[in-house]
């Protein structure tokens, strides 16, 4: 057992035992291979964890299938108590979880990582409040017959989460799935396995029955594929790139699995000349630089009306420089971290080179000094961009933004919608009629009016077009983990 936990001292002095095994059926298990987790700030290994094989996924699926037979009968009140207990444990371990998330995912602890962990507790409490309120409806048919519906859990659910929000995005999936009565197998991204494994110790303390909540690390091509294809897993919920989402959907189709996909984005942010100028600049900067631009909804395309374009660029540049310095994860002033990996770093650098080659002008980024160690991409602002450029059309997933000007409403609406993605869009204007008109016309699952990336757990979230299928959060986030059964009651109709 001792070799399934390693002693770790975090940069802020916190010491703890890090689980490195697979958490299956309430036990910590080894596998045949391991994954090394790298600190993006230092480029040094933190530790290694065991990576699940297809056989390990099968073990988890079998355990979850058995556990489901009793878990589905647990009352909503009892499920709610467990979820609330887990929320309390999350709050009690906020400092440790946030500190670990900071070095495993490359996040400033106070500005990013703490908010992520606080969000986990909030979403657990939110769906705990739903666990005893899942109901159907009565359908009158005739004097001698009526029908009613039951909303029932799906069974065993596989969940595959991304590296940009390792523990936060996990909670979007596991909280509603458990509240609805499902058993889960959740796989972390190979870049960021540590916080979710540590969270498994809280699952144990909360008292969830063995097999209900299984947590594994693993490679997408192996463990992810096993989850998508396993016949006992009735649903797959995935967050990640559009390309991998297509693979998940294709793999799941063999068993006609229920699939929810939250994939890539290239969100447009539109600033009209009647907007609150100061607020538009601040939100635009925050919406692309937060989490180092590693957000599916990051406003990576900014369209500014030509009458305020030059003034916007001047203020935007100054705001980004002031608000997003390159500092250590545990510096309380830090708001920007490195990107997740060398692979991601190289990819972003290639996009920056393509932007220059295509003729976009660099307003900010070339002269920024970066720390010697770490996968640092300085905030990079391209201006005078054209729609054909790769930096405008493709998801970069880093602190890189393409800014363009527009003259008319018709022009900017056409540009904003000219994308294969449709996850989010942002509009800044004081004209309430214009705001609602654009909210209706923009092809995106979420439209923020006079803000950016300030979703709330009470409102559904998901994408149009190649940005995904289904909705998470809100009431819809619970419904995706249920299926409807119709029951017909004959009160005397005879053949």
Catalytic residue set: 262
Cβ contacts of 250 within 8 Å, gap of 6 or more: none
Please tell me the distance from the alpha carbon of residue 382 to that of residue 451, in angstroms, as a whole number. Answer: 21
Tell which residue, 374, 317, 342, 424, has the closest CA to residue 107.
374
Q: Is the dihedral of CA 440, 443, 446, 448 positive or negative?
A: negative
Strand partners, 49: 35
Instruction: Pull the structure tokens for residue 183.
Output: 């058993």
Question: In this structure, what DSSP letter does residue 49 have?
Answer: E
Reading the block at residue 35, the tokens are 């994954």
Whole-angstrom distance, CA of residue 341 vs CA of residue 106: 9
DSSP state, residue 202: H
Checking DSSP bridges between strand 424-428 and strand 268-271, what pairing results, if any? parallel
Residues in contact with 263: Cβ distance below 8 Å, sequence separation at least 6, in sequence order: 238, 239, 240, 241, 242, 245, 296, 423, 463, 466, 467, 468
Residue 494's region, left for phi above 0, alpha for psi from -120 to 50, else beta, is beta
Q: First CA to last CA across the chain, in angstroms? A: 66
List alpha helices for 9-147, DSSP H. Answer: 54-71, 76-92, 94-105, 114-128
Alpha helix stretches (DSSP H) within 207-258: 225-229, 242-252
Q: Which of 171, 67, 113 is nearest to 336 (CA)?
A: 113
- Give the long-range contacts of residues 325-331, CB within 8 A, separation 24 or more: 326/368, 326/369, 326/370, 326/371, 326/376, 326/378, 327/108, 328/11, 328/41, 329/11, 329/41, 329/102, 329/103, 329/106, 329/107, 329/108, 329/109, 329/113, 330/11, 330/12, 330/99, 330/102, 330/109, 331/108
């Amino acid at each position: 057992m001792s070799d399934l936990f390693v002693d770790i001292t975090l940069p802020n002095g916190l010491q703890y035992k890090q689980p490195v095994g697979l958490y299956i059926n309430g036990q910590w298990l080894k596998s045949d291979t391991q994954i090394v987790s790298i600190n993006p700030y230092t480029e040094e290994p933190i530790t290694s964890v065991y990576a699940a094989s297809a056989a390990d996924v099968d073990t988890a699926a079998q355990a979850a299938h058995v556990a489901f037979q009793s878990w589905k009968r647990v009352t909503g009140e009892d499920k709610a108590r467990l979820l609330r207990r887990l929320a309390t444990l999350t709050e009690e371990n906020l400092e440790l979880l946030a500190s670990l998330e900071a070095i495993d995912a490359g996040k400033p602890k106070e500005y990013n990582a703490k908010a992520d962990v606080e969000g986990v507790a909030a979403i657990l409490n939110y769906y705990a409040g739903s666990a005893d309120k899942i109901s159907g409806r009565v359908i009158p048919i005739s004097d001698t017959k009526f029908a009613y519906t039951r909303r029932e859990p799906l069974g065993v659910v596989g969940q595959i989460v991304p590296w940009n929000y390792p523990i936060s995005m996990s909670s979007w999936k596991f909280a509603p799935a458990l509240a609805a009565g499902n058993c889960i197998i959740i796989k972390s991204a190979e870049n960021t396995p540590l916080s979710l494994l540590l969270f498994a110790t809280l699952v144990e303390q909360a008292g969830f029955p063995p097999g209900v909540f299984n947590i594994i690390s693993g490679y997408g091509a192996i463990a992810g594929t096993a989850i998508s294809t396993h016949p006992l897993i009735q649903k797959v919920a995935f967050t990640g790139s559009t390309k991998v989402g297509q693979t998940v959907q294709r793999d799941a189709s063999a068993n006609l699995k229920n699939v929810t996909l939250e994939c890539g984005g290239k969100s447009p942010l539109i600033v009209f000349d009647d907007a609150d100028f100061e607020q538009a600049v601040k939100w635009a900067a925050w919406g692309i630089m937060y989490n180092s631009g590693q957000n599916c909804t990051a406003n990576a395309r900014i369209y500014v009306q030509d009458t305020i374009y030059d003034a916007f660029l001047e203020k935007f540049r100054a705001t980004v420089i002031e608000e997003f310095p390159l500092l250590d994860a545990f510096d309380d002033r830090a708001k920007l971290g490195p990107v997740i990996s060398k692979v991601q770093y190289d990819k972003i650098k290639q996009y920056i080179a393509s932007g220059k080659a295509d003729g976009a002008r660099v307003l900010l980024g070339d002269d920024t000094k970066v720390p010697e160690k770490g996968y640092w991409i300085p905030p990079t602002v391209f201006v005078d961009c054209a729609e054909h450029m790769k930096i405008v059309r493709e998801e970069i997933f880093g602190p890189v933004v393409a800014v363009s000007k527009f003259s008319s409403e018709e022009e900017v609406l056409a540009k904003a919608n000219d994308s294969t993605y449709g996850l989010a869009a942002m509009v800044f204007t004081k004209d309430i009629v214009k705001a609602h008109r654009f909210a209706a016309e923009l092809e995106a699952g979420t439209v923020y009016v006079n803000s950016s990336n300030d979703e709330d757990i009470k409102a559904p979230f998901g994408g149009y077009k190649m940005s995904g299928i289904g909705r998470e959060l809100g009431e819809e986030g619970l419904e995706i983990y249920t299926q409807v059964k119709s029951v017909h009651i004959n009160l005397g109709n005879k053949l």
